[in-house]
């Protein structure tokens, strides 16, 4: 199966919106041209942009209080891939899927790989899970996994990560993201330094199992479920561990995993400067690790992150790359709609950052023209690049308005019939 929504329906949708898009695109081309910017260069860049989808995002997430599942949620990894394929079909910006084990574990990786291939998808980074116990597990992670006092629990957690590498390898993935919930809820519960020493010992064993062309991504998070002291709480700890482990270890920045008002774009700049910026989990937040849709609360921050990425790319050339994926929890929206909108918001920030006049910015910085330096960024941020994003999608087979096309195709109603809910079938989560 190549596409899950009849491409004729997408074409019909596009035909209705094409004349308006052409007019908007032409108007934007004109105004950009007066700024010395070629719209076609930006559209070509937008066409190449990709952000990976989290398999766990295809279902309704939930909070600590409740989960309100929607109709037709995927019940297994194959159905998650079907939904991811629809998101990519309409946005043309999400060809990669990031799996989470053991939630997505199956015995036949060849079948899963073939399913992805038939959808035009590939497997991005794989994720391990030692932040909850699985049925039948020998040793609990209640008091930690990679940092547990109990050596057998640590060994079990290391073995799970190595199994994730093997599964990922069979699926064509090139990296493992490790996030642990380890830490303390009380002062005195853990020896702070001892916990990190055990973490490093465990990570050295995982690192040693990495194939030559693989990387391991360390994801930090300020708090939750450890509410007093999380072992890998911040980018400084993440960076120190990545340095300690070696060149195949990088830092992964989840936008939600910081204290409110943290200058995340500066963290991005620091990690890029020292060669340890591995990738991102994009989402948005107001208070903590809210896992809200990317760009829904603070789109300017998202733009400023991409501004740093554009600066790093200009300094370092084609060798500069990051692994980008969404990591969100959809509680009150259709996950497919949220993931499509979020992919477009991340792509929007990327294109806006490409619009920044870097030469002018440098000039204003050197001459201490603070106001104009700030305005140079704002000018790019304020530019509505929607026609560029829509035109990019149209030219590579996507939908001018992905959410409208999705709704009119009736996909959710169809899968609601095909996927009757069954008790305990959900395997979505929040990370
Ligand atoms: Mn994350």
What region, left, alpha or beta, does residue 186 occupy, with left being phi > 0 and alpha being psi -120 to 50 degrees? beta
pLDDT tens track for 147-184:
999 999 999 999 999 999 999 999 999 999 999 999 99
Residue 241 in this model has a pLDDT that exceeds 60: yes
Q: Residue 423 — very low, low, confident or very high, per pLDDT cuts 50/70/90?
A: low
| Beta-carbon count within 10 A of 44 CB | 13
* Arithmetic mean of pLDDT over the chain: 96
Distance, CA 328 to ligand 1 centroid (Å)?
8
327/282 Cα distance (integer angstroms)? 6
Q: Residue 421 — very low, low, confident or very high, per pLDDT cuts 50/70/90?
A: confident
Long-range contacts of 38-46 (CB under 8 A, 24+ apart): 39/388, 42/351, 42/354, 42/355, 42/385, 42/388, 43/388, 43/391, 43/392, 43/395, 45/350, 45/351, 45/354, 46/347, 46/350, 46/351, 46/385, 46/388, 46/389, 46/392
The model's pTM is 0.96
Of 66-70, 84-88, 232-236, 372-376, which range is least confident?
Answer: 66-70
The residue to which tokens 């079948």 are assigned: 111
Predicted confidence at residue 3, as pLDDT, reads 56
Distance, CA 254 to ligand 1 centroid (Å)?
5
Provide the CB-side half-sphere exposure for 204 (13 A, CA). 7
Distance, CA 72 to ligand 1 centroid (Å)?
25
Domain boundaries in the chain?
Answer: 50-344
- Phi first, then psi, for residue 221 (nearest 5°) are -155, 130
* Alpha carbon 78 to its chain's center: 20
Distance, CA 429 to ligand 1 centroid (Å)?
11
Distance, CA 260 to ligand 1 centroid (Å)?
16
Distance, CA 212 to ligand 1 centroid (Å)?
25
Distance, CA 21 to ligand 1 centroid (Å)?
35
Distance, CA 281 to ligand 1 centroid (Å)?
5
What's the CATH class of domain 50-344? alpha beta
Distance, CA 143 to ligand 1 centroid (Å)?
21
Distance, CA 36 to ligand 1 centroid (Å)?
38
């Amino acid at each position: 199966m190549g596409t899950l929504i009849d491409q004729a329906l997408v074409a019909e949708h596009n035909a209705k919106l094409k004349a308006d898009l052409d007019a908007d695109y032409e108007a934007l081309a004109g105004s950009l041209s007066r700024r010395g910017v070629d719209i076609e260069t930006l559209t070509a860049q937008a066409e190449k942009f990709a952000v990976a989808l989290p398999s766990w995002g295809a279902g309704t997430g939930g909070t600590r209080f409740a989960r309100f599942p929607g109709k037709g949620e995927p019940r297994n990894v194959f159905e998650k891939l079907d939904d991811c394929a629809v998101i990519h079909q309409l946005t043309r910006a999400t060809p990669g899927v990031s799996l989470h084990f053991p939630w997505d574990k199956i015995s036949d990786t060849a079948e899963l790989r073939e399913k992805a291939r038939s959808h035009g998808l590939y497997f991005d980074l794989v994720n391990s899970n030692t932040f909850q116990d699985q049925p039948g597990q020998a040793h609990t992670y209640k008091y930690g996994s990679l940092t547990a006092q109990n050596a057998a629990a640590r060994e079990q957690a290391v073995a799970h990560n190595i199994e994730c590498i093997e599964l990922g390898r069979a699926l064509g993935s090139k990296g493992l993201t490790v996030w642990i919930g380890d830490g303390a809820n009380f002062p005195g519960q853990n020896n702070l330094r001892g916990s990190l020493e055990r973490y490093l010992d465990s990570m050295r064993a995982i690192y040693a199992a990495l194939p030559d062309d693989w990387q391991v991504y360390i994801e930090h998070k300020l708090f939750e479920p450890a509410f007093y002291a999380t072992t890998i709480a911040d980018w400084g700890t993440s960076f120190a561990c990545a340095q300690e482990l070696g060149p195949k270890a990088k830092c992964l920045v989840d936008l939600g995993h910081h204290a409110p008002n943290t200058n995340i774009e500066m963290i991005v700049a620091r990690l890029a400067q020292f060669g340890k910026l591995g990738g991102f989990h994009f989402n948005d937040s107001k208070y903590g690790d809210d896992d809200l849709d990317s760009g829904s609360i603070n789109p300017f921050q998202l733009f400023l992150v991409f501004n740093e990425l554009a600066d790093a790319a200009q300094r370092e050339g084609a060798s500069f790359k990051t692994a980008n994926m969404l990591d969100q929890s959809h509680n009150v929206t259709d996950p497919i709609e949220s993931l499509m909108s979020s992919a477009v918001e991340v792509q929007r920030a990327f294109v806006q950052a490409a619009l920044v006049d870097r030469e002018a910015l440098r000039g204003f910085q050197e001459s201490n023209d603070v106001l104009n330096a700030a305005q140079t960024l704002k000018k790019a941020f304020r530019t509505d690049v929607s026609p560029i994003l829509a035109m990019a999608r149209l030219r590579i087979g996507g939908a001018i308005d992905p959410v409208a096309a999705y709704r009119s195709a009736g996909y959710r109603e169809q899968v609601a019939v095909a996927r009757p809910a069954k008790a305990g079938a959900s395997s979505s989560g929040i990370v």
